Amino acid sequence: MPNIIEKLWESHVVHRAPDSPDLLYVDFHLLHEGSSPQAFDGLRRSGRRVRRPDLTLATEDHIVPTGTLTYPPRNTTAALLMRTLRANCEEFGITLHPMNSQGQGIVHVIGPELGVTQPGMTVLCGDSHTSTHGAFGALAFGIGTSQVEHVLATQTLAAKKPKTMAVNVLGALPTGATAKDLALYIISQIGSGGAQGHIVEYRGDAIRSLSMEQRMTLCNMSIELGARAGLVGPDETTFDYLRGRSYAPSENQWAAATERWLSFSSDDDSDYDAQIDIDAGEVSPYVTWGTNPSQAAPLSATVPEPDSIANSEERLAADNALKYMDLAPGTPLSAIRVDTVFLGSCTNGRIEDLRAAADILRGRAVASGVRMVVVPGSMAVKADAEAEGLNRVFTDAGAEWRNPGCSLCVGMNDDVLARGQRAASTSNRNFEGRQGKGSRTHLVSPAVAAATAVTGQLTSPDRLAVLA
Ligand SMILES: CC(C)[C@H](C(=O)O)[C@@H](O)C(=O)O
Ligand code: SF4
């Protein structure tokens, strides 16, 4: 029996020939300022237009300053990229959500929020974390700049069909364990390359009980498993989230749309090229200690001893990571002090994430000497958070309340750490230099980020309750 991934793929093939990649129809194409300039240059050089501007949407996210909304920004690279995207969208008739406009935000936050991302679709963007949109039961993955040009020109993509993998998350997540912890747990279990060449479907009871925000967090991090994409089959949770959003089907088309969406679903006995089982009951607040997301452990554990790692490649990686992170084996993870806490990104910059952190910070203060930066994932998240008073919770606690953008997730804008600085970060990558040259990153959930801000060292929310 075909699974949802195969059904989605097959339903989008517009041309197939032996020994060549399939040509897939693209339902929606998202753009950001970072990966699109050369693609537009290519179109201009070959005298082509954008085939479906109506199925293309752009936003400014990677390089926008989050401290001020003045345009053009002082940073000349940012100013150039923003000017270029604005001119390209104007010339090719593409809707753009520029900085300081209502629909602006991180590309993987605004797609779902506008209802652009729907089950049964192919959604592409020149950005690896496009996998986020898989949370809706869409086939969504990142593409390179030359492919962005191809999609702009043709609304199709030439791609080789990946293998499929089921990640069965069995049982229920314990109280206090979040989708972020689950993602880090899965990656630490099967490794950064564990799903290489595959598209993953997350299945099982634990997945069904996740909210859309949590499913997005999980699918977002599929890339850190080496997967091409990750998805969750659609259900009532998906439909409830989508209903009434700008791009979602209208009320009189709703029943037909949901029926079609469900027709892609996997069956209980669908086949996959690979299957793994994960026990949700094993998940607890997780943090990374190294320089890739698979180097993660329960917050209650200690920094591992590289010599105890059997696999020689992993041992060497751990050794190098600990040098870069300036950590000694055996140190309790909960004793690691940070100077920055970053709450935001396309992994954890949505309203539920902000609520989870605010619940912990309410009535508490950010530890002295610690800087907490809160960056909503979009203007809509920002507006919702302000309507609920979450911004006040953050600023009363001593955190900075910013404007939407990728910010401290990636060293491509004004928000960077100084060399040697250490952050607890709700983003998805802890690579060397990711938050600025020489910066050190510990990936955490929003709840752990907030608890860490209060104590100044990696802290689980439970522990904070005991300390209070
Ligand atoms: C800049 C962009 C192309 C990049 C990506 O592809 O993911 C960025 O979003 C990231 O998270 O590293
Ligand atoms: S928030 Fe981070 S991971 Fe997400 S698109 Fe921006 S840079 Fe990439």
Whether the pLDDT of residue 299 is over 90: the answer is yes
Atom of ligand 2 nearest to the CA of 132: 4
CB-ligand 1 contact for 86 (6 Å cutoff)? no
Please tell me the distance between residue 149's alpha carbon and the centre of ligand 2 in angstroms.
21
Residue nearest atom 8 in ligand 2 by C-alpha distance:
129
Q: What is the ipTM of this complex?
A: 0.98
**pLDDT tens-place string over residues 377-401:** 999 999 999 999 999 999 999 999 9
Atom of ligand 1 nearest to the CA of 406: 9
Residue 356, pLDDT score: 98
Atom of ligand 2 nearest to the CA of 349: 1
**pLDDT tens-place string over residues 252-284:** 999 999 999 999 999 999 999 999 999 999 999
Stretch 173-195: mean pLDDT? 97
**Strands 371-374 and 400-401, how do they pair?**
parallel
DSSP string of 142-168, one letter each residue: E--HHHHHHHHHHSEEEEPPPEEEEEE
Residue 132, pLDDT score: 98
Q: Which residues line ligand 2 (CB under 6 A)?
A: 61-62, 106, 108, 127, 129, 345-346, 406, 409-410, 427-428
What's the CA dihedral at 336, 188, 159, 46 to 10 degrees? Answer: 10
Please tell me the distance between residue 344's alpha carbon and the centre of ligand 1 in angstroms.
15
Please tell me the distance between residue 62's alpha carbon and the centre of ligand 2 in angstroms.
7
Counting residues of the chain whose pLDDT is more than 90, the rounded percentage is 99
Please tell me the distance between residue 468's alpha carbon and the centre of ligand 2 in angstroms.
34
Please report, for the chain, the start and end positions of each structural domain, with discontinuous segments joined by +. 4-159, 163-233+260-282, 286-467
Atom of ligand 2 nearest to the CA of 345: 1
| Binding site residue list for [4Fe-4S] cluster | 346, 406, 409
**pLDDT tens-place string over residues 79-130:** 999 999 999 999 999 999 999 999 999 999 999 999 999 999 999 999 999 9
Residue nearest atom 9 in ligand 1 by C-alpha distance:
127
Stretch 139-167: mean pLDDT? 98
Residue nearest atom 2 in ligand 1 by C-alpha distance:
127
CA distance 380 to 375: 12
Residue 466, pLDDT score: 79
Residue 10 tokens, joined: 């097959």
CA distance 291 to 420: 14
| Binding site residue list | 346, 406, 409
Residue 450, pLDDT score: 98
Residue 467, pLDDT score: 76
Tell which one of 130, 219, 347, 410 to mutate to probe ligand 1, the residue whose CB is within 8 A of the most ligand atoms.
Answer: 410
Tell me the whole-structure pTM to 2 decimals. Answer: 0.98
CA distances to 35, 37, 38, 52, 59 from 146, rounded to whole Å, are 10, 11, 8, 17, 19
SS3 351: helix
Residue 337, pLDDT score: 98
Whether the pLDDT of residue 243 is over 90: the answer is yes
Nearest ligand (C-alpha, residue 346): 2
Whether the pLDDT of residue 430 is over 70: the answer is yes
CB-ligand 1 contact for 73 (6 Å cutoff)? no
Please tell me the distance between residue 30's alpha carbon and the centre of ligand 2 in angstroms.
14
- Name the band, by pLDDT with cuts 50, 70 and 90, for residue 307: very high
Residue 468, pLDDT score: 66
Residue 397, pLDDT score: 98
Which of 371, 376, 368 shows the shortest CA–CA distance to 340? 371
Residue nearest atom 8 in ligand 1 by C-alpha distance:
127
Counting residues of the chain whose pLDDT is more than 70, the rounded percentage is 100
Is 286-467 CATH 3.60.21.10? no
Fold of the CATH domain 163-233+260-282 = Aconitase; Domain 2 (3.40.1060)
CB-ligand 1 contact for 35 (6 Å cutoff)? yes
Average pLDDT over the chain, rounded to whole? Answer: 97
Residue nearest atom 4 in ligand 2 by C-alpha distance:
346
Q: How many CA atoms lie within 13 A of 123 on its CB side?
A: 32
CA distance 354 to 404: 13
Nearest ligand (C-alpha, residue 404): 2
Residue nearest atom 1 in ligand 1 by C-alpha distance:
34
Residue 22 tokens, joined: 């399939």
CA distance 284 to 139: 29
Atom of ligand 1 nearest to the CA of 409: 11
SS3 130: helix
Q: Are the C-beta atoms of residues 291 and 259 closer than 8 Å to each other? A: no
- The arrangement of secondary structure in 4-159, i.e. its CATH architecture, is 2-Layer Sandwich (3.30)
CA distance 398 to 402: 13
Beta bridge partners of 302: 332
Domains 4-159 and 163-233+260-282 share a fold: no
Please tell me the distance between residue 433's alpha carbon and the centre of ligand 1 in angstroms.
14
Atom of ligand 2 nearest to the CA of 377: 1
Whether the pLDDT of residue 33 is over 80: the answer is yes
